Amino acid sequence: MKISGKTRVCAIIGDPVEHSLSPVMHNAAFKKLGLNLVYVAFTVTTKELKDAVLGARSLGLLGLNVTMPHKNAVMRYLDETDSTAKAIGAVNTILNDQGKLIGYNTDGNGAMRALKENGISTDGKKMLILGAGGAAKAIAFQAAREVEELVIVNRTSGKAEKLAEVLRKKFGNKVKGGALSVEVLKEELKTADILVNATSVGMHPDVNMSPVPSDLLRSDLSVMDIIYNPLETKLVADAKSVGAKVVSGLEMLLYQGAIAFEIWTNCPAPVEVMKRAALNKLAEQGVHH
Query: In the complex, which residues of this chain contact ligand ATR (CB under 6 A)?
Result: 131-136, 154-156, 159, 180, 198-201
Neighbouring CB atoms inside 10 A of 69's CB total 14
Q: In whole angstroms, what is the distance from residue 221 CA to residue 18 CA? A: 36
Q: Which is nearer to ligand ATR, 23 or 202 (CB)?
A: 202
> Under the phi-then-psi rule, with left for phi > 0, alpha for psi from -120 to 50, and beta for the rest, what region is 89?
left
| Active centre residues (catalytic) | 71
3-state secondary structure of 36: coil
Q: Is the CB of residue 127 less than 8 Å from the CB of residue 93?
A: no
Q: Which is nearer to ligand ATR, 103 or 134 (CB)?
A: 134
Q: Which is nearer to ligand ATR, 23 or 131 (CB)?
A: 131
Q: Which is nearer to ligand ATR, 16 or 124 (CB)?
A: 16
Closest contact distance (angstroms) between CB of 38 and ligand ATR is 28
Closest contact distance (angstroms) between CB of 99 and ligand ATR is 31
Q: In whole angstroms, what is the distance from residue 113 CA to residue 87 CA? A: 19
Closest contact distance (angstroms) between CB of 257 and ligand ATR is 16
The continuous run of DSSP H or E covering 158 comes out as helix 157-171
Sheet harboring 37-43: ordered strands across? 37-43, 8-14, 63-66, 93-97, 100-104, 80-81
Neighbouring CB atoms inside 10 A of 153's CB total 25
Closest contact distance (angstroms) between CB of 253 and ligand ATR is 12
